[in-house]
Structure 1
Amino acid sequence: MRRTHGGMISFEHDGVHHLLMIGGAGSKPAVQLPHYKYIQLSNERWRTNEHSMYNLSSRKWNNPSIIGQCISPASAFIIEKINNTRAVLFGGTETDDDAKNTVTNNIYILEISVSTVFWQCIKKPEAIDQWPVGRYYHAGAIIITGSDCPMLVISGGADKNNDTLDDCWIFNITQHSWIKLDVPHSASKRHGHSLSVFLMSPHCVWIITVGGCVDKRGTLVTNPNIVMITELGQCISHTHQ
């Protein structure tokens, strides 16, 4: 299925590199594969949770089996690789079997092989307040420190009312807990942007955000906010406690 606003990660298996594409929205699928779901939207586009895997050596596509709590047809989420067999996915717009759209704040942990993707869904517990609101068109990246405690950092995005969000969070993938970061508004208030992290030391991380829009009208970020660098210190230490 031809589609946009899905997610893609790369991984290696037995010396062969693969690309895994998940979800997205696009034109009506020529073939609806039995493992996946395809929902028609009100704008005549279709949203899917289809998985497509590309072998870079053989240059052939295949469609892996899915096990567990797989995401519904979704788009505009983020997916980041934790290591060569695991990935984390957050947020996006999901469409259920009744064609109802929901901007979510669910976390999914994926275990990946060349033939199978196992899904685990982590939803916000009712007793927990420290959890980001649902969003789409946000940005994210993985922070890996020497303590073997991977973390997902996210920023911005748009909420269910299409308003641009102004926040930045870190998710401890081991403890399944969020911490909200105190960063400049010019770095976090944007959607449709890019985000990268650079580990300077186990307790010093630079987050770099580039581009994006600042409001629902699609006003582009302008100088001096094209690139913002934020140095993290105490928050990284706190997530390890």
Structure 2
Amino acid sequence: MDEFGVFGVFGVSGPPQKLLSADGACRASVAIPASVHQVVLFSSGRWGDRICVNAELNDADRFPITIGKLTPYNNITLTISIEGGDPSKAEPELILAVKEYTPKDVAAPLAPRELNKRKRERSSEDGDDDDKVAKTGEEENMCPNGARVKTTPVGKVKGQAKSSKRLFSSRAGASNLKGADNGADEAGGAVGRTPPQGTAKTKSRQAKTPTQTAPPISPSARWGQTLCPINSQTAILIGGQGARMQFCKDPMWKLCTEDMSWMAAETLAEGPTPETRIGHTAVFDPDSKRIFVFGGSKNKKWFNDVHILDTQTWRWSMVEAQGKVPPLAYHSCSMFRGELFVLGGVFPRPNPEPDGCSDSLYIFDPQLSIWYQPIVTGDKPSPRSGHSACVIQQRYIYVFGGWDTPVCYNDMYMLDLGLMEFSAVKTTGKAPSPRSWHGSAVLSDAKFLIHGGYNGNNALSDAFIFDIETNSWTEVALPQLSVPRAGHSIITMETGSHHGFREEGESGRKTLLVFGGGDNEGNFYSDLTTVAVEELLDAL
């Protein structure tokens, strides 16, 4: 058969269907039936010199879908076109028969296609992160230092001996927290150091064996990343650092909560991608449908840039902002009425003066692209980093914990966003012990969660719920939250029941999602844990 045509097979048992021909329609759109898990496109006939076939897969909101991953839980359209055909013979949209489909079993997600070459231009400092040594005062608050990766919190990587390296430790030259083991810090390397170079290089060569060609189907283990929900079905993972002080080579992922599957997302978005970092913040503005990424650090680099990801066009842009804001990492960033409220964080100082923590509040106005410092009254928190900040009732920001070496905090402050007034919160009940790099999430209009963190010596696994109506703490114990971790991500999202699938007429439920972090024993996590918020509140 010499006539060129494009055919599609929808489902493993579906017959081939002719979609386009060189002398016929030059464009066709096909609605993929919900029961179809696999789509195969192929051509038949002789290719002409001018013929080029383009294929595009989009969901119901016209967001592109990486070919290689299809799920039966979205309305998906396949659009293909021929360049070099006859445009006068274009046919109307082709719709395949769609049958009602209620998923009963979760099909294993297809592996994503191999990642394309990164669009981001690497700076000369990027090089091989395995062998880098961060010797700046950033050691105060930048602390992963392990040689082992754990993909789940219970098992160890087979064949690797236990590492003595510490994920978090006090700053070299500063007074250690009470109970800190100086000897362990020296043996395992103080914060910001890599393992001995010979070991690091050997492991690096082993990790780069040419047999490892399969693309990843989930994020690598990491800490210091952000996980940012953009709607009830999707969250975006950005940045992070894993074993051997290595910044993640897979810095951006898309989480689909309908089947709890991951999709490598760095190549999906156009524009200047932010350089991989840790200690940054990422917040989503539901009105403009944009993610704002601010600050963070990478080895000797510190950032005060603002990157914006438009989730409707999937395009990155970098803001040329007016006003002054220092480079910050491990700060908090809250969205209120379309503006970013950045509080605290650690910032670099010229050597030999050690890096310091901030007690300042900076606000970024995206409409004017300007930073400014508001007039704030009351009793504001002392300088700190690694703290948490929760926006409650769109009126208050509750700030908890953090540290400024060698002091670790467990105090609570509240910023009244109407009065722009800080006040110390006097609490009752068993409060969390002093900690930083913990996870926090709003559970309801009056309650938020604090989980895990680092107390200056160990990673923690306890969880507490704070009630702003009674100013009381309550400790909760759930097996899903029993793994010690710090530098992890915690978010809440509206999801359906039955593993994320929502039946017709069923309202969504709120779910807590916990990802990543480390345990200060050289272990980094890539597991995703889910807990129903209802279950958390019932534990009170």
Superposition TM-score, scaled by structure 1 size: 0.75
> Match for 2:422 among 97, 107, 119?
119
Aligned-pair CA distance for 1:82: 1.1
Q: Percent identity?
A: 21
Aligned-pair CA distance for 1:122: 2.0
- Whole-Å Cα distance in 2 between the matches of residues 54 and 186 of structure 1? 34
- The residue that corresponds to 2:366 in the other structure is 56
- The residue that corresponds to 1:24 in the other structure is 345
Do the aligned partners of residues 3 and 218 (structure 1) sit closer, same or farther apart at CA in structure 2, a change above 3 Å counting?
A: farther
- Whole-Å Cα distance in 1 between the matches of residues 411 and 383 of structure 2? 14
1:73-101 Cα shifts (integer Å, max 9, x gaps): 11000112113331111110147xxxxx3
Aligned-pair CA distance for 1:123: 4.5
1:163 equivalent to 2:484? Answer no
Determine which structure has more spread, i.e. the larger CA radius of gyration: 2
1:45-102 Cα shifts (integer Å, max 9, x gaps): 121111111111111111012211100111000112113331111110147xxxxx32
Larger proportion of strand: 1
- The residue that corresponds to 2:517 in the other structure is 212
- The residue that corresponds to 1:137 in the other structure is 437
Q: Give, as a single letter, the amino acid of the residue that structure 2 aligns with 1:172.
A: D
Check the 8 A contact 2:480/2:530 in 1, yes or no: no
RMSD of Structure 2 on Structure 1 (CA)? 2.7
Check the 8 A contact 2:393/2:446 in 1, yes or no: no
Check the 8 A contact 1:143/1:199 in 2, yes or no: no
Do the aligned partners of residues 81 and 186 (structure 1) sit closer, same or farther apart at CA in structure 2, a change above 3 Å counting?
A: closer
1:16-38 Cα shifts (integer Å, max 9, x gaps): x2111111111239xxxxxxxxx
> Match for 1:3 among 311, 315, 328?
328
SS in 1 for 2:537: helix
Counting only pairs closer than 5 Å after superposition, residues 1-241 of structure 1 correspond to structure 2 as: 1-12=326-337, 17-28=338-349, 44-94=354-404, 101-113=406-418, 117-123=420-426, 128=429, 130-144=430-444, 149-160=445-456, 162-184=457-479, 188-198=483-493, 205-214=510-519, 216-222=520-526, 226-233=527-534, 236-237=537-538
1:145-172 Cα shifts (integer Å, max 9, x gaps): xxxx411111110113x20101111111
Deviates more, 1:65-74 or 1:178-187: 178-187
- Whole-Å Cα distance in 2 between the matches of residues 69 and 124 of structure 1? 16
Aligned-pair CA distance for 1:207: 1.6
Superposition TM-score, scaled by structure 2 size: 0.35
Number of residue pairs matched?
Answer: 204
Structure 2 segments unaligned to the other structure (5+ residues): 1-325, 497-506
Do the aligned partners of residues 199 and 8 (structure 1) sit closer, same or farther apart at CA in structure 2, a change above 3 Å counting?
A: same
Aligned-pair CA distance for 1:217: 4.2
Do the aligned partners of residues 27 and 235 (structure 1) sit closer, same or farther apart at CA in structure 2, a change above 3 Å counting?
A: closer
Aligned-pair CA distance for 1:238: 6.9
